[in-house]
Amino acid sequence: MKAIVQDRYGPPEILRLADVDAPVPAADEVLVRVEAAALNAYDWHAMRGDPRMARLAMGRSKPRARIRGRDFAGRVEAVGTHVRQVRPGDTVFGDLGEANGAFAEYVCVPENLVAPKPANLTPQQAAALPLAGITALMGLRDVAQVEPRHRVLINGASGGVGTLAVQLAKALGATVTGVCSTRNVNLVRSLGADHVVDYTRDDFTHDARRHDVVFDLVGNRTLRALRRVLTPAGTLVLSGGGVYRGGSLIGPVWLITRGRLLAPFVRHRIVTLSTAPSRQHLDTLRAHAEAGRLTPVIDRTYPLHEVPQAIRYLEGEHARAKVVITI
C-alpha cells in the first residue's frame, strides 16, 4: 500500500510517499480502507520531534511510528476474531492516538477507537472531527463543566479545535465569545458565536466582560492577562499545539507548563488539558453532528502525496479550521 513515511525528525521535506506492507488486524482490531485523514498540530510536533522532551516517548533518535496521521474516516475491510461491534463494510471514523498511521491507504485500529461515521457527513468532514472534537468536548464539557448561561470565551475560535468548540459551547447552552483575526470574523459568527473579537483591532484581555470559562487554544497571552477576564470562580482551560518559528516551538506548550506551576497558588481554576481518544467521545460527537449541532469546517484538502505541503501550510499559521487529506 501507499503511505507517508518518516525515518527521522525534521521539516516537512523529510516525509515521503512509499510502498509499505499493508497492516494485518490483531484479534481486537479492525482494518480500515482510509478515505480521508485530517491534519492536527500533533502531526507536525511528532514530525519535528518538538519539544525535544517528547522524544522520550516518541523515540529518541528517530520516531518509532514511521507513518504519521491520527484522524481518519473510511470503510472497514476486515475485523479481528474478538471484534463484536464493527463489521466489514461499515463506514467509520476514529483517532489512532499516539499510534499514528492514518496517512496511508489502510490502517489497523483497536475496536474501541472507532465509531460509525455520522450519516450526514462526508468522509472528509468525519475525518476532521476526532482529535479536534474530542479536545473541544473534553475541555468544555468534561473539564470546565459548561452549563446553560455560562459565559465562555474561546481564544483561537477559527482553528481546528476552535471552530468545533464554538459549536459545542453553544450546544451546551453557553453564551460564546470567539477571538479570531479579521478574515475569520464572519466564519466564527456563522458558527453561532454571540460575540466575536477581532484581535487585530481589540485586546480581549482588556474587555470589561468577564467569563466563567476561558478556553485558550493559542498561547499568545500571559496567564495574568487570561485570568483578568475570568469571573472570581472562573476556569481557565489551556490547550493547543504551539507554533514553529525560527527553529523553535513557541505558544501553548510553554504557557501550559507555567499554568501547571501556578495552578495551586491562585483562586481561579487553571486546568491543562490532556486528551485521549475513546469510543464514547466519538459517539457523542456523532450524535451532535447528526443532530445538526456540529459541522466541521474544512479549509483545504490535499491528496496523499502532498502531505508535506499540507503540513507546511498548517504549521505556518495560514490555515483556518481543518486541513484534510483525501486518499
- CATH 3.90.180.10 in the chain, residues? 2-129+296-326
d(CA 6, CA 286): 32
> 315 Cβ partners below 8 Å, 6+ apart?
12, 41, 44, 243, 244
Query: Average of pLDDT values for 276-291?
Result: 96
Percent of the chain with pLDDT over 70: 88
pLDDT band at 288; cut points 50, 70, 90: very high
Residue 82: the pLDDT is 97
Query: Average of pLDDT values for 130-158?
Result: 96
**Rounded alpha-carbon distances, angstroms, from residue 206 to 43, 83, 176, 202, 224:** 34, 54, 17, 8, 11
> 156 Cβ partners below 8 Å, 6+ apart?
162, 179, 180, 216, 217, 218, 240
Residue 59, SS3 per DSSP: coil
The residue written with cell numbers 501507499 in the block is 2
Say if residue 244's pLDDT is above 50: no
The structural architecture, per CATH, of the domain 2-129+296-326 is Alpha-Beta Complex (3.90)
> 132 Cβ partners below 8 Å, 6+ apart?
38, 40, 71, 160, 161, 164, 296, 322
In the chain the beta strands, taken as DSSP E runs, fall at: 2-5, 16-19, 29-38, 71-79, 91-95, 106-110, 114-116, 151-155, 175-180, 195-198, 211-216, 230-238, 243-245, 248-250, 269-272, 298-303, 322-326
The structural architecture, per CATH, of the domain 131-272 is 3-Layer(aba) Sandwich (3.40)
Residue 251: the pLDDT is 54
Burial of 302 per CB tally in 10 Å (0-12, 13-18, 19+): middle
Say if residue 165's pLDDT is above 70: yes
- CATH 3.40.50.720 in the chain, residues? 131-272
> 192 Cβ partners below 8 Å, 6+ apart?
166, 167, 170, 176
| Residue 240 or residue 171, greater confidence | 171
Q: Nearest 5°: CA angle at 188, between 325 and 197?
A: 130
| Residue 137 or residue 53, greater confidence | 137
pLDDT band at 266; cut points 50, 70, 90: confident
